[in-house]
Structure 1
Amino acid sequence: MTIQCTVQSVEPLAENTYRVILHPQQPVNYKAGQYLMVVMGEQDKRPFSIASSPCREHSELELHIGAAEANQYALEVVDAIKSAHQSGGVIEIDAPHGSAWIKEPLQKPLLLIAGGTGFSYVRSILDYCISQNSEQPIYLYWGAKQIEQLYAFDDLQHIATQHNNITFIPVVEIAPERWTGKVGNVLQAVNQDFDSLADYEIYIAGRFEMAGAARDTFTTNKDADIHHIHGDAFAFI
């Protein structure tokens, strides 16, 4: 469905990363973990995970867009959104898309894995689980090169202290001084922490090669059921 949206806000989350709040002119009926397409042209639609969940008030849609100068594909979208925000114009989206949404009923423990702005995908799922008062264990692993790129670090730590069933595990490649968390690759961290993933519902967002490596490793070495590993990347690889 194609829908026009006004741009409520555009603000930086980290270097070259932006939070965008869109207000659709009609409600978007989506599930936590789906994505939308920003319409840049008749044959040019660009996908971005919806960071908000269906429980969000006022039908807002939140996006987290990584737009470094080398990434013109995303940077052009951010520029178009900024222009619409400044001029009072609209952005056209096509939504919802994707089949890697949260699976219900919520019974199995969840493993949420994100690299970079892939966090927006798992954030939607996390917020939905909280809104449903889910009690099953939830482990959220978020990896980035540097801690500054973990732009929701404080927020997730607070959530984990408020909910005994939620564990947040940040992973950085380059550790700052006095860092006591995990260092290295986010998949390596998961592999070190779990002997078996047979009982888990697993949701993954990040680069295609990361998602592919996770699926191969988890099914081969950690007893994961391939039918319980979800991510939009798997529709393309």
Structure 2
Amino acid sequence: MSEGELRRGDVLLCQARPLSNVEIEATELAASAEIQIKMLPCRVSRMEKVAHDVMVLNLKLPASQRFDYLAGQYIDIIMRDGRRRSFSMANRPQPGQELELHVRHVPNGYFSSRVFDSMKEKDLLRFQGPFGTFFLREDSDRPAILVAGGTGLAPIKALLEQALHNAVPRTFHLFWGVRQRRDLYFHDLVQALAEAHDNVTYTPVLSETDASGEWSGESGFVHEAVLRHYDDLSSHEVYACGPPVMIDAAREQFIPRGLDPERLFYDSFESAVDD
């Protein structure tokens, strides 16, 4: 658990031991409960290095297998020694379509180093899924603020594509935070998506800018850019995906601006490193 979660008094119910009688109130998510978790083989059909440290993998599933998921969910890639690495699908679900994953190269990362150094198209992989409760709540018509950090864009992209495909009657404002301009690996794609739909706004944010003055957009931390655009979040929903520090900052600063804690949905990306 993160320091922010500990300060708030959050607990992991799968680990905590009650010292007295307790009553647990749980929200049931019918949408995800209907989807079957499967273990499936797949083949790497395409690899594209879209940034110096980001590889897009396309995975082809067996023609005889049906794999259902909700836009925003993730799978676990299972390696031969049993180790797992989690990646969100970056494309909306469609029958027979390949899965798109965004893999960031983590120094000494067991799986990501393999992707960048030795993996080839047609290699075989195995995965289990889908997992997660990060998906668009269709029972709401509130304006949605989408906050992505780095490759946290992946599930946000899938979620947004699905909403647009379904003609969901609400507005979406996507804030994508990265370090430098070169890290906006899908900038043109997201910008084109926003230009093609009146209900989509796109704001890229750089945390590191140089003195050249070439960047005229938002700078600083991505959650700060959200606060500069929205003084009052009481009527919005926020969907955030990125590193734990970004998620903690969003929770700590969005709620005082009026955001209902029950309207903050997030997926925290933590990088696994193996020596």
1:13 aligned partner: 50
Cα contact 1:67–1:75 (8 A) shared by 2: yes
Cα distance in structure 1, aligned partners of 2:228 and 2:123: 49
Does residue 203 (structure 1) correspond to residue 211 (structure 2)? The answer is no
In the alignment of these two chains, the number of paired residues is: 228
Aligned 8 A contact 2:149 2:176 in 1 = yes
2-structure distance, mates of 1:80, 1:46: 17
Partners of 2:61 and 2:202 in 1: CA distance: 31
Quick one: which of 186, 197, 222 aligns to 1:186? 222
How far apart, in 2, do the equivalents of 1:117 and 1:94 lie?
20
Q: Distance in 2 between matches of 1:60 and 1:155?
A: 19
1:73 shift after superposition: 3.7
The one-letter code matched in structure 1 to 2:172 is I
Residue 137 of structure 1, CA deviation = 1.0
> Counterparts of 1:212 and 1:49 in 2: how far apart (Å)?
20
- For residue 251 of structure 2, give the secondary structure of its aligned residue in structure 1: helix
Structure 1 equivalent of residue 126 of structure 2: 92
- Provide the residue aligned with 1:177 in structure 2: 213
1:147 matched residue in structure 2: 181
Following TM superposition, by how much is the alpha carbon of 1:74 offset from its aligned partner in structure 2, in angstroms? 4.2
Give me the whole-angstrom Cα distance separating, in 2, the residues matched to 1:204 and 1:77: 28
Residues 151-195 of structure 1 show CA distances to partners (whole Å, capped at 9, x for unaligned) of: 111111111111111000000123363322101110110111111
Gaps of 5+ in 1: none
Q: How high is the TM-score relative to the length of structure 2? A: 0.78
Preserved CA contact (<8 Å) 1:65 1:74: no
Partner of 2:168: 134
* Cα distance in 2, alignment partners of residues 151 and 80 from structure 1: 20
* More helix by percentage: 1
**Separation of aligned partners in 2, 1:71 and 1:119:** 23
**Equivalent residues in 2 for 1:47-196, closer than 5 Å:** 47-55=86-94, 58-68=96-106, 70-76=107-113, 78=115, 82-83=119-120, 85=121, 88-105=122-139, 107-175=141-209, 177-196=213-232
> Shift of residue 62 of structure 1?
0.2
Change (3 A) 1:71 1:197: farther
For residue 66 of structure 2, the aligned residue among 27, 30, 38 is 27
Coordinate RMSD, CA, aligned: 1.9
In the alignment, the residues of structure 1 paired with residue 117 and residue 99 of structure 2 have an alpha-carbon distance, to the nearest angstrom, of: 17
Structure 1 residue 81: deviation in Å? 7.9
What is the aligned-residue identity percentage? 30
Once the two structures are TM-superposed, the CA of residue 9 in structure 1 deviates from its matched residue by: 0.3
Give the Cα–Cα distance (whole angstroms) in 1 for the partners of residues 111 and 244 of structure 2: 16
Cα distance, 1:11–1:142 mapped onto 2, change above 3 Å: same
1:2-60 Cα deviation digits (max 9, x unpaired): 101111101101001000000111221100110010001453111011101114x6321
Matched AA of 1:206? G
Cα deviation 1:95-138 (Å, max 9, x = unaligned): 10111111113512111001111110100111111111123110
CA contact (8 A) 1:66 1:74 kept: no
Which position in structure 2 is the counterpart of 1:218? Answer: 254
When Rg is computed on C-alpha atoms for both structures, the one with the higher figure is: 2
In structure 2, the partner of 1:230 is 265
Distance (Å, rounded) in 2 between the aligned partners of 1:80 and 1:90: 16
The corresponding residue for 2:21 is none
- My pick for the range that moved more, 170-179 or 114-123, is 170-179
Q: Distance in 1 between matches of 2:130 and 2:253?
A: 30
* Alignment partners' CA distance in 2, 1:162 and 1:117: 23
- Give the AA of the match of 1:29: D
8 Å CA contact retained: 1:40, 1:77: no
Pair 1:44-2:80 in alignment: no
1:81/1:114 CA distance change after superposition, 3 Å: farther
Which amino acid letter does the alignment assign opposite residue 149 of structure 1? Answer: D
